[in-house]
């Protein structure tokens, strides 16, 4: 008899519960179990090679030995069973590749010493192989952008792009970009300062010093003229009279007060007349004709403004030559101002900056008169202190803030007084002494 075919029932597989209930997934589970077993035990024996299954015994044969000795040797060579728990029993790879290995105190010290020796040897080898010639601050170790991109990119944008590519470009600190001053460390002195100068150089130096002295005299005279000579000397007799004049200046006199009063009275009369004549006027509404006229006037005003603008545009076309001349004059002025600014920056770069409250004062120039010149180093006398010169040079180059050198400290003034119970009256003491005698 032929087995009757069983018809499959149509079942809903809409939800997860119904899917699990009515779907057979045994073959999938079986396949996954086999896969896991293979991962644990390795590839099946049918698929393995002979070299993996069989091993040739190459151990030396021990002759003339008893069974006990053989057993002992085998035990010695055999791995202890306690290590079996440490070994992996499956061929599945460890999910955590990097693990923290706990070490004892002694082991840590030994490992540290080993790592130090290794690093030192590696550094020595690298130094011997090649010298470091590249600039650390500008190098971009791995990635170097093409020149086509870096032409139009700023330094910040280049650093930003390199950072996302996994390389960090170091930024130079602001203090290393430029020197604190353009001036040299040791300035070359004027040839006229020599112990045996030429006539022209010596005269040039004396002329420069004389010019500086004249400028200082002129400045002192100006200050004297502006401050002391500007004020008049008042005698003691007329001091009160001048003071009264000065204090009463700007105050109203009798005539001015009378005119002010008359003006106020007139204003009050005018106000009373205007209040009497004024009548209450109602806000009358505008008619349609008035509104239309107002609209037409507004339109005419806008048209007039538009016509003015158009006329101005046409007239500007004919003023192109004048405009060109104006632009040229403006450009010339700007160029002159630019040159002035550059000259000013050059002057300021040489001048010392204000780093503190005290102003920098340069040393007085060293010079000798014609009768003081000796012509040889043996009879030449030193005029300036070398330490002071170097200290002033540091101040001038903005390395040290200028300050006033004080050799003695200012001590605070202590107020002394005698306590009332410690006071001694000389008259009373004398009387007591005489009475005793």
pLDDT digits (tens, 9 = 90+) for 290-347: 999 999 999 999 999 999 999 988 888 888 888 889 999 999 999 999 999 999 999 8
What is the structure's pLDDT at 428?
A: 60
- At residue 218 the predicted structure's pLDDT band, cuts being 50, 70 and 90, is very high
CB–CB of 350/183 below 8 Å?
Answer: yes
Pairwise pLDDT comparison (359 vs 231), residue with the higher score: 359
What is the structure's pLDDT at 1?
A: 46
3-state helix vs strand vs coil in the chain, percent to 5: 55, 0, 45
Least confident of 116-125, 188-197, 345-354, 424-433: 424-433
* Interior angle at CA 146, CA 140 and CA 148, nearest 5: 140
Q: Is the pLDDT of residue 141 over 70?
A: no
Q: Is the pLDDT of residue 273 over 60?
A: no
Q: Where are the domains of the chain?
A: 16-53+67-85, 105-177, 287-313
Range 4-14 average pLDDT: 74
Q: How far is CA 357 from the centre of its chain?
A: 24
Q: Is the pLDDT of residue 228 over 80?
A: yes
Range 17-28 average pLDDT: 86
Q: Is the pLDDT of residue 106 over 70?
A: no
CB–CB of 111/103 below 8 Å?
Answer: yes
Q: Is the pLDDT of residue 126 over 70?
A: no
Strands (E), 72-132: none
What is the structure's pLDDT at 308?
A: 93
Q: Is the pLDDT of residue 93 over 70?
A: no
What is the structure's pLDDT at 306?
A: 94
CB–CB of 386/207 below 8 Å?
Answer: no
What is the structure's pLDDT at 299?
A: 94
Q: Is the pLDDT of residue 140 over 50?
A: no
Name every residue whose Cβ is closer than 8 Å to that of residue 197 and which is 6 or more positions away in sequence.
191, 205, 373
Q: Is the pLDDT of residue 113 over 90?
A: no
Of 362, 340, 353, which Cα lies nearest the Cα of 212? Answer: 362
DSSP secondary structure letters along 132-148: --S-TTT--SS----HH
Least confident of 79-93, 107-121, 356-370: 107-121
Q: Where are the alpha helices (DSSP H) in 185-284?
A: 199-226, 239-248, 254-277
d(CA 322, CA 365): 55
The percentage of residues in the chain with a pLDDT greater than 90, rounded to a whole number, is 19
């Amino acid at each position: 008899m032929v087995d009757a075919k069983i018809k499959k029932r149509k079942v809903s597989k809409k939800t997860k519960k119904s899917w699990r209930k009515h779907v057979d997934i045994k073959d999938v589970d079986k396949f996954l179990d086999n896969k896991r077993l293979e991962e644990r035990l390795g590839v099946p024996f049918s698929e393995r090679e002979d070299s993996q299954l069989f091993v040739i015994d190459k151990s030396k044969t021990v002759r003339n030995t008893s069974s006990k000795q053989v057993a002992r040797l085998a035990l010695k060579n055999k791995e202890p069973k306690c290590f079996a728990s440490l070994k992996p029993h499956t061929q599945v790879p460890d999910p955590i590749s990097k693990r923290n290995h706990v070490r004892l105190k002694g082991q840590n010290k030994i490992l540290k010493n080993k790592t130090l020796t290794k690093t030192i040897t590696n550094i020595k080898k690298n130094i011997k192989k090649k010298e470091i010639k590249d600039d650390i601050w500008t190098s971009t170790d791995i990635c170097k952008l093409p020149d086509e991109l870096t032409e139009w990119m700023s330094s910040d944008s280049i650093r930003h792009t390199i950072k996302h590519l996994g390389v960090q470009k170091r930024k130079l600190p602001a203090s290393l970009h430029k020197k604190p001053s353009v001036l040299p460390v040791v300035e070359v002195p004027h040839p006229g300062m020599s112990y045996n100068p030429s006539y022209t150089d010596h005269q040039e130096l004396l002329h420069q010093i004389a010019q500086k002295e004249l400028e200082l005299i002129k400045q002192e005279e100006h200050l004297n003229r502006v401050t002391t000579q500007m004020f008049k000397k008042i005698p003691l007799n007329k001091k009160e009279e001048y003071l009264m004049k000065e204090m009463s200046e700007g105050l109203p006199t009798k005539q001015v007060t009378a005119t002010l009063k008359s003006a106020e009275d007139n204003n009050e009369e005018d106000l009373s007349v205007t209040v009497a004549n004024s009548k209450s006027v109602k806000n009358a509404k505008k008619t349609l004709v008035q509104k239309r006229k107002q609209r037409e006037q507004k339109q005419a005003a806008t048209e007039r403004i538009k016509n003015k603008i158009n006329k101005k545009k046409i007239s500007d076309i004919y003023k192109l030559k004048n405009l060109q001349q104006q632009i040229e004059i403006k450009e010339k002025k700007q160029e002159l101002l630019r040159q002035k600014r550059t000259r000013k920056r050059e002057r300021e770069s040489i001048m010392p900056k204000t780093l503190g409250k005290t102003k920098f004062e340069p040393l007085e120039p060293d010079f000798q008169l014609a009768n003081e010149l000796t012509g040889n180093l043996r009879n030449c006398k030193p005029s300036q202190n070398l330490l002071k010169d170097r200290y002033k040079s540091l101040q001038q180059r903005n390395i040290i803030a200028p300050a006033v050198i004080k050799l003695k400290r200012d001590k605070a003034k202590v107020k002394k007084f005698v306590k009332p119970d410690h006071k001694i009256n000389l008259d009373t003491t004398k009387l007591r002494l005489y009475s005793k005698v």
